[in-house]
């Protein structure tokens, strides 16, 4: 039985992953941490500790106290926020990861940390193979590429069991997005139900890879449990589910809510980031090395998002 510590556990991914893994491994075997303590069912449901991930001493103390053997390192500034605050992004995203890896080296821990489609840039093929050029143009992307290399180094040099995936944009009805370029694909569902219209900050025709959060949670769990002898691309695997442009998601919503309308007011900063990213990740390596396969496409995700969001929004009125 694993004992898992999650950093950034109150963020968009961490909130849902904490609940998912507590169901899989037991509530007391998943310790959630974040830099601040917020009102959250995750905090009330099981062990929670405040942690600044750049504080390696504090992390080591928590690992010892709870007999942790696996760290899921999610704490990071996301793309849009990182571009607004590049110095903070470097400190949190890279120094935080370094502290986690150092504690893992000293205490023989396994580490999962996500990379992103943001690890690619303009020179990357738009249909992106597992192994390809990575020259991102954002601080977020720089930290993700450096993080992949750092995790590979700690595996080769020190034997730390490091694993990761390159997440596409993640869509969820449980937690609000946290400052990423793909946030529009979550906001549009809220707007569709609240007002019946949406002003999109991303230009028509801009393809980006996306994934519904249930698939993302399952990907983390399955990779953690995968046979290590079969993993050739530990840091990090491309994983994919669906690729769409803003007009595609609008059309999928209109199939369920015919009166929904969308207009465009492009945000130049977000658009520049989106234009530098892949249209679609090619995920053969993940399929072959640990059996990855997405379960949701745009149509099934849209039905599920609207069904689950409707009662939640009704409760807040």
Question: So what's the pLDDT on residue 48?
Answer: 97
Query: Could you give the CA distance from residue 2 to residue 16 in angstroms, rounded to a whole number?
Result: 18
**Distance of alpha carbon 95 from alpha carbon 73, whole angstroms:** 12
Quote the pTM value.
0.91
Q: Which of 168, 134, 138, 139 shows the shortest CA–CA distance to 149?
A: 134
Place of tokens 């530990």: 234
56 contacts 102 by C-beta, under 8 angstroms? yes
Name every residue whose Cβ is closer than 8 Å to that of residue 59 and which is 6 or more positions away in sequence: 5, 7, 51, 53, 99, 100, 103
- DSSP letter (8 states) at residue 122: T
**DSSP string over 99-116:** HHHHHHHHHT-EEE--EE
pLDDT of residue 196: 96
pLDDT tens digits in sequence order for the chain, 317 residues long: 699 999 999 988 999 999 999 999 999 999 999 999 988 889 999 999 999 999 999 999 999 999 999 999 999 998 888 989 999 999 999 999 999 999 999 999 999 999 999 999 999 999 999 999 999 999 999 999 999 999 999 999 999 999 999 999 889 988 766 667 788 999 999 999 999 999 999 999 999 999 999 999 999 999 999 999 999 999 999 999 999 999 999 999 999 999 999 999 999 988 998 888 888 999 999 999 999 999 999 999 999 999 999 888 877 66
Q: Which residues, including other chains, have CB under 8 Å from residue 127's CB and lie 6 or more apart? A: 278, 279, 280, 282
Catalytic residue, from 140, 173, 212, 296: name it. Answer: 140
In a 3-state reduction of DSSP, which class is residue 136?
A: coil
DSSP state of 94: I
Q: Cα–Cα distance between 115 and 12 in angstroms, integer? A: 15
* Domains of the chain: residue spans and CATH: 4-168+212-238 (3.40.50.720), 169-210+242-316 (3.40.50.720)
Per DSSP bridges, beta strands 208-212 and 242-244 are antiparallel
Taking residue 249's Cβ as centre, other Cβ atoms within 10 Å add up to 25
* Residue 140 designated active-site: yes
| Whole-number Å distance between alpha carbons of 135 and 138 | 9
Q: How far apart are CA 286 and CA 105, in angstroms?
A: 26
The distance of Cα 6 from the centroid of its chain, to the nearest Å, equals 13
Contact by Cβ (8 Å): 286, 237: yes
Which residues share a beta bridge with 281? 128
Pair of tokens at residue 172: 């969820």
What pLDDT, on the 0 to 100 scale, is given for residue 316?
Answer: 65
CA proximity to 189, closest of 307, 17, 15, 13: 307
Task: Give dist(CA 306, CA 270) in Å, integer.
Answer: 25
User: What is the reported pLDDT for 174?
Assistant: 83
Alpha helices in the chain (DSSP H): 12-25, 41-45, 56-66, 79-84, 86-89, 96-107, 139-158, 184-194, 213-225, 246-256, 268-275, 284-290, 298-316
Distance separating alpha carbons of residues 232 and 185, to the nearest angstrom: 32
Element (H, E) at 280: strand 280-281
């Amino acid at each position: 039985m694993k004992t898992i510590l999650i950093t950034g556990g109150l963020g968009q991914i961490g909130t849902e992953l904490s609940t998912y893994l507590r169901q899989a491994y037991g509530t007391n075997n998943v310790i959630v941490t974040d830099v601040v303590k917020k009102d959250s069912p995750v905090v009330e449901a099981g062990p929670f500790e405040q942690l600044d991930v750049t504080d390696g001493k504090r992390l080591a103390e928590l690992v010892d106290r709870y007999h942790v053997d696996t760290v899921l390192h999610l704490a990071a500034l996301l793309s849009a926020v990182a571009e607004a605050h590049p110095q903070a992004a470097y400190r949190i995203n890279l120094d935080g990861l370094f502290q986690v890896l150092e504690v893992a080296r000293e205490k023989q821990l396994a580490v999962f940390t996500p990379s992103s489609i943001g690890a690619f840039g303009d020179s990357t093929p738009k249909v992106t193979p597992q192994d390809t050029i990575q020259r991102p143009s954002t601080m977020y992307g720089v930290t993700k590429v450096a993080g992949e290399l750092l995790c590979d180094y700690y595996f080769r040099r020190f034997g730390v069991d490091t694993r990761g995936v390159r997440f596409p944009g993640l869509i969820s009805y449980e937690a609000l997005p946290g400052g990423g370029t793909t946030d529009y694909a979550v906001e549009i569902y809220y707007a569709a139900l609240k007002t019946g219209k949406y002003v999109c900050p991303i230009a028509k025709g801009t393809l980006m890879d996306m994934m519904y959060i249930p698939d993302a949670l399952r990907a983390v769990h399955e990779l953690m449990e995968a046979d290590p002898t079969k993993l050739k691309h530990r840091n990090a695997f491309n994983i994919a589910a669906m690729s769409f442009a803003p007009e595609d998601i609008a059309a999928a919503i209109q199939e369920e809510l015919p009166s929904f309308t969308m207009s465009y007011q492009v945000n130049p900063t977000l658009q520049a980031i989106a234009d530098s990213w892949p249209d679609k990740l090619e995920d053969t390596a993940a399929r072959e090395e640990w059996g990855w396969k997405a379960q949701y496409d745009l149509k099934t995700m849209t039905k599920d998002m609207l069904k689950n969001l409707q009662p939640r929004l009704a409760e807040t009125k």
